[in-house]
Amino acid sequence: MKLLAAISKKFKNLFQKAKRPEYEVMEYVFSDRQRIDGTSTISFFVNNPEPDLSVTKTFESEDEAVNWLMSNNDFRRMLFSNLFPKSNSVKHHCGVKEPITVPNKMPGDIDILIYEKESWDSAIGIECKIVKSESRENEPPKINKVISVQKKGTIQANGYAELGFSRVYLLVILLDDGRHYKNPNVMFRTTPSESLQELYGFDWQTRMNDDIGIIYVNVNQFTTNHINQTKGLGLRIEREAIFRKQNESLTKKMQRLNT
């Protein structure tokens, strides 16, 4: 009987399909801008006959991409409502250096600094890293920088924690050019989840402070239009940051930052 059970189990494992990775649902906002001149019919979320620049090549630096995101009202609303759900007086700074950090020393500048107005002792430091995914005709998507994100992102986020913020997050931005996917619904032209298993399935806990939270952000280009014209923005809190009493020295620096 034991032999029969072992054979049965082997056959079951042989023909059983691998379980697809399961990811939490993202909060999404889709937008499209079209010129209204009264001379023609207006259609939204349609391709431009002449393809514009890929979102993977739009930003020359990580700082530029972060500033672009934080200048978007929809993205700020999603981010702030998740981190400070009961507040309507949230302030932020991007690329903060002195007096919070020391020049030429880890963790470098603070990519995003968020806090409630005049609540200097409950600031959130957010380290941002970018992954690029580009769809291709009849080929798997080209995805880069995943290993770099995992290595450098964890080191710098740990550095934020050492500075003494009340909460710290690692925010991973996926610049997703899905223009070559064939889904008839353009809003679903995104990189398949199985292609992102290396990113979303990574065990952050083995390298990163347990108190640090993780946020995934998607910037989706699903038409041939420029990302400034047509886009999807998604955000998901993968792991909540653990609140800690903020370092008093850091709180004093926060006050100086705003004087």
Domain positions in the chain are 53-257
The arithmetic mean of pLDDT across residues 180-186, rounded, is 85
Is a pLDDT exceeding 80 seen at residue 173? yes
pLDDT reported for residue 199? 87
Is a pLDDT exceeding 90 seen at residue 20? no
Compute the distance between CA of residue 158 and CA of residue 209 in angstroms, rounded to an integer.
6
pLDDT reported for residue 15? 40
pLDDT band at 131 (very low <50, low <70, confident <90, very high): very high
In terms of pLDDT, which residue wins out, 74 or 4? 74
Per-residue pLDDT tens over the stretch 62-100: 999 999 999 999 999 999 999 998 878 899 999 998 888
pLDDT reported for residue 202? 79
Q: What is the DSSP string of the chain?
A: -HHHHHHHHHHHHHHSPPPPP--PPPEEEEEE-----SSS---SS---SS----GGGT-SSHHHHHHHHHT-HHHHHHHHHHHSTT-S-EEEEEEE-TTTS-TTSTT-SEEEEEEETT-GGG-EEEEEEEEEEEEETTEEEEEE-HHHHHHHHHHHHHHHHHHT-SEEEEEEEEEEE-TT---SSGGG-S--GGGGHHHHT--GGGTS-TT-EEEEEEEEE-SSS-TTTEEEEEEEEEEPPPP-PPPHHHHHHHHHHT-
pLDDT band at 14 (very low <50, low <70, confident <90, very high): very low
pLDDT reported for residue 169? 97
Tell me the whole-structure pTM to 2 decimals.
Answer: 0.86
Distance of CA 3 to the CA centre of its chain: 50
Phi-psi region for residue 154, left (φ > 0), alpha (ψ -120 to 50) or beta?
Answer: alpha
Percent of the chain with pLDDT over 90: 52
Smallest Cα–Cα separation from 21: which of 197, 199, 242, 214?
197
Mean pLDDT check: name the lowest of 18-27, 146-155, 201-210, 246-255: 18-27
Is a pLDDT exceeding 90 seen at residue 219? yes
Both tokens assigned to 79:
């981010």
Per-residue pLDDT tens over the stretch 132-159: 999 988 888 999 878 888 888 999 999 9
pLDDT reported for residue 146? 85
Compute the distance between CA of residue 57 and CA of residue 66 in angstroms, rounded to an integer.
14
Is a pLDDT exceeding 60 seen at residue 22? no
Task: Supply the mean pLDDT for the chain.
Answer: 85
